[in-house]
Amino acid sequence: MPRWTALPDDLDPQITEFIGQLRRLVDRDGLSTAVLADRTGYDKTSWERYLSGQLLAPKGAVVALAEITGAGTAHLSTMWELAERAWSRAGLRDDRTMEALRIVQADTAPGESQESGEPARSKGGPAVTAGFPAPAGVSPRASGASAVSEPYGDDTRAPRPGPAGEASGNRRRVTRFLAGLAGVLVVIAGVFLFTHQGGGKGDKGAERKPAAAPPPSPSATHPTLPPGVKCARSACTGKDAEAMGCSGELVTTAKTATVGTVTLEVRYSRTCGAAWGRITDAAPGDTVRLSVGKVRRSGDVAGAGDTIAYTPMVAVRDVSTAEACATLADGRTGCTR
């Protein structure tokens, strides 16, 4: 019985070739996923997903596999870069598809129907619930969880509310109205007390200072981040993306261009709220620069044998404002648009 199941037909050829190489290395050394977990530090379940094509293995796992099998780290890293780029393109397309789906759902199924409180349904079809885009690096097949619920038995139309449902809806509307009215009265009373407090002789004509703004909530200043992610937004500016945990499965390619034989990209992590520039297939002396408004960061190819260069991260609210430019050692330049 074959050890490996066939990879999905819709995988990019570069991803298929990369996973096939990982499988060959594992088979050559007779390694089980339990042994891989013990020797690489990545758990057994993760390796099963990496080798089945459900997730793209992070670069750290690839380097660890190369070390324990004696494979060439440079060659395997190059294959990972190509596969990761293809995976990012697929993830970005899925993000755009899910965003379009959410927009349609917002127009056609805003939440509750006004009478019954049931989820809104399209005519003659099942209820539609809002979905969320897959994290970057997660296979579009794995992230495309069903966004539609099952119809009511054999009849796809939502049941019409009876008298009890109408009465219940009326009670809810009255309750919401009274709650809103009470909130307005509380605000009016608060304004009255604030503007008429004091009243002594020493207070006449005295200019009252506006109340101090409340301190920001802890969740606003210290957002909850996924495990391994060490910064978000402005705290990421000037930091290395890989060291801060913003790369790997959390990154997509927002923009790309070609300068000579060099591939130029704007890399973006929605989780970290930051972007950075990257060049691949580069040579010593080639440089890359990222600009976001007046903020700029740059990086260059360190030395012989290196083919990739990154810039430090820059916080972005809208990745479309980020621009990456490359300057090659032979004088050629180019930017993403």
The sign of the CA dihedral 264, 231, 248, 26 is: positive
Taking the CA of residue 31 as centre, how many other CA atoms within 13 Å lie in the half-sphere pointing to its CB? 23
What pTM does this model have? 0.40
Question: Where does the pLDDT of residue 190 fall: very low under 50, low under 70, confident under 90, or very high at 90 and above?
Answer: confident
In degrees and rounded to multiples of 5, residue 264 shows phi and psi of: -110, 135
Mean pLDDT on 98-107: 52
Which residue shows structure tokens 């609210």? 317
List pLDDT tens digits, range 6-43.
Answer: 898 888 999 999 999 999 999 999 999 999 999 999 99
The SS3 call for residue 277 is strand
For the purposes of burial, counting CB atoms within 10 Å of the CB of 91, is it exposed (0-12), middle (13-18) or buried (19 or more)? buried
List pLDDT tens digits, range 202-228.
Answer: 444 444 555 565 554 434 444 588 988
Mean pLDDT on 93-117: 48
Mean pLDDT on 261-265: 86
The pLDDT of residue 181 is: 81
Which has more confidence, 59 or 142? 59
The pLDDT of residue 187 is: 75
The sign of the CA dihedral 87, 93, 96, 97 is: negative
The pLDDT of residue 166 is: 54
Tokens of 30: 């007779």
Whether 280 shows a pLDDT value over 80: the answer reads yes
The pLDDT of residue 14 is: 93
- The residue among 279, 291, 287 whose CA lies nearest residue 316 is 291
Q: Which stretch of 44-58, 198-212, 264-278 has the lowest confidence by average pLDDT?
A: 198-212
- The residue among 308, 304, 274 whose CA lies nearest residue 288 is 308
Question: Where does the pLDDT of residue 169 fall: very low under 50, low under 70, confident under 90, or very high at 90 and above?
Answer: low
Whether 89 shows a pLDDT value over 60: the answer reads yes
- Per-position DSSP letters for 65-77, written without gaps between them: HHHHHT--HHHHH
The pLDDT of residue 197 is: 58
List Cβ<8 Å contacts ≥24 apart for 301-308.
305/74, 306/282, 307/78, 307/280, 307/281, 307/282, 307/283, 308/81, 308/278, 308/279, 308/280, 308/282
List pLDDT tens digits, range 114-166.
Answer: 344 444 444 344 443 333 334 444 444 444 433 333 333 334 344 444 455 55
CA 137, CA 90: separation in Å to the nearest integer?
9
Percent of the chain having pLDDT more than 90? 36
- The residue among 256, 244, 312, 307 whose CA lies nearest residue 88 is 256
